[in-house]
Amino acid sequence: MNVQKLLDERNQFFWVLHIGGWIGFALVHYIGSFVNDMRDAYIFIIISNAYLGAMLTLPLRYLYRRVWDMSPMWLVITILTASYFVGTLWGVLQNYSFFEFYRFGYTPSDWLGYFRNTLGSFYIVLCWSGLYFGIKYYQMLEKERQKALKAANMANQAQLKMLRYQLNPHFLFNTLNAISTLIMCEENKTANGMVSKLSDFLRYSLHTDPIKKVALKQEIKALSLYLEIEKIRFEDRLSVEWNVTEDAEQALVPSLLLQPLIENSIKYAIATMDDGGVISISAKTFGHDLLLEVKDNGPGLETSQKASKANKVNGVGVGIANTRERLLTLYDDHSFVLSSVEPTGLKVNIRIPLEFDTE
């Protein structure tokens, strides 16, 4: 049986502990009986005492449920009183069964003899009460911890989805504007191809679960659609170089992880250069890591960082900041490094754990 499932089923968990605890009580007393020369009738006494203890402590469960919300002082008083009453009653019944069955009808000279050792019975019942409240409080804390973990998980998922769906509106605006220009210039075939690529890219973007990871090969296909759209806009001003190894293609990555970085290069490198530029995308495996790199030959790190900070102030928050936040949310062990390229350009290096689809 699954232990966590047993902990969640409170009623079933109580009965397992209650019955198991009194069986353990009987076994301990049975083992202890070997120290003295006990007759066979004592086995019946042990079983009888354990059974009586189990039956008499059972009502305490329902009593403690009713007084659970009492103030701490009254709760302690109730526990002590109830435990003393049940312990005393149990002790009297134990003495009665001992005299009646073990000593075969022997009657003590004083009726107070039936109350002998009732203090020990009180301690055992008090321990039962303490365990009941201890386990009850532990279950409550565990339930609250699970709620907190679930809330944190839901918050992380919401954050991932928010970051994942932050497609720059400038991309859509520029693409639609380019399509409109192509239609006005009667380049309908090119415009139709651009609409088709935009549709495929948006379908992939919206239908891919941002919480799940996809194969890099699938990501490259989506990025190719995105870059083909941008190539229509920039024509010969945009060149793309791919350097992806075969083993890296099968590795799992967060969906559209590189798209904001490429968009950042296009916006702050290609678009600002009259002669255009080159974007280089590479991926390879190294040991237990997947190494990703996006590089351009634009103005460089300082210009990109200034633009990124300006965008963050203006509430855009995509590109470099977007990717960094997603990596922090998804991975404990990763690296995200920005560096300059000589003579000009910006390079983004990402290291994440190497994972493959096991299904």
Q: Nearest to residue 254, comparing CAs of 114, 147, 160, 167?
A: 160
pLDDT band at 232; cut points 50, 70, 90: confident
Q: Does residue 148 lie within any of the structural domains?
A: yes
**In-domain check, residue 359:** no
Q: Is residue 344 helix, strand or coil?
A: coil
Residues 76 and 25 in one domain: yes
Last residue in a domain, options 110, 128, 159: 159
Q: How many domains does the chain fold into?
A: 2
Q: Where are the beta strands (DSSP E) in 97-234?
A: 213-215
Q: Is 334 helix (H, G, I), strand (E, B) or coil?
A: coil
The residue from 99, 126, 159 where one domain ends is: 159
Given pLDDT bands bounded at 50, 70 and 90, which one contains residue 316? Answer: very low
The reported pLDDT for the residue numbered 281 is 94
Q: Is the pLDDT of residue 306 over 70?
A: no
With tokens 């998804």, the residue in question is 330
Mean pLDDT calculated for residue range 211-238:
86
Query: What's the pLDDT at 292?
Result: 96
User: In this structure, are 198 and 148 located in the same domain?
Assistant: no
Residue 55 lies in a domain: yes
In this prediction, residue 312 has a pLDDT band, given cuts at 50, 70 and 90, of very low
Smallest CA-to-CA distance from 93 within 43, 51, 62, 36 is with: 51
Q: Are residues 216 and 112 part of one domain?
A: no
Query: Residue 6 pLDDT more than 90?
Result: no
- Whether 138 and 202 share a structural domain: no
253 is a domain residue? yes
**Residues 195-210, mean pLDDT to the nearest whole number:** 78
**DSSP-derived pairing of the beta strands 289-296 and 346-353:** antiparallel
Q: Which has more pLDDT, 141 or 210?
A: 141
Who has greater pLDDT, 97 or 338?
A: 338
In a domain, 358, yes or no: no
Q: Are residues 190 and 149 in the same domain?
A: no
Residue 10: pLDDT band (50, 70, 90) is confident
- What is the 8-class DSSP label of residue 123? H
Q: How far is CA 176 from CA 185, 206, 229, 267, in A?
A: 14, 18, 10, 16
Shared domain check, 206 and 119:
no
Q: Is the pLDDT of residue 321 over 50?
A: yes
Question: Does 47 have pLDDT greater than 80?
Answer: yes
**One domain for residues 101 and 215:** no
215 shares a domain with 131: no
- Range with lowest mean pLDDT among 23-37, 161-175, 319-333: 161-175
Same domain, 275 and 335: yes
Kindly state whether residue 285 falls inside one of the protein's structural domains: yes
Q: Which pLDDT does position 117 carry in this prediction?
A: 76
Tell me which residue range forms the domain holding 110. Answer: 3-159
Mean per-residue pLDDT over the chain, rounded: 80
Domain contains 261: yes
Residues 174 and 50 in one domain: no
Looking at the chain, the whole-number percentage of residues with pLDDT higher than 70 is 78
Query: 313 pLDDT band (50/70/90 cuts)?
Result: very low
> Does residue 105 register a pLDDT over 60?
no
Tell whether 276 is covered by a domain: yes
Of 159, 175, 207, the one marking the end of a domain is: 159
The pLDDT score that the predictor gives to residue 104 is: 56
155 and 186 assigned to the same domain? no
Crossing angle between the packed helical segments 301-313 and 320-330, to the nearest 10 degrees: 80
CATH of the domain at 218: 3.30.565.10
Q: Are residue 95 and residue 169 in the same domain, yes or no?
A: no
Predicted structure pTM score: 0.55
Cα distance between residue 69 and residue 67, in whole Å: 6
Whether 270 shows a pLDDT value over 80: the answer reads yes
User: Which pLDDT does position 243 carry in this prediction?
Assistant: 94
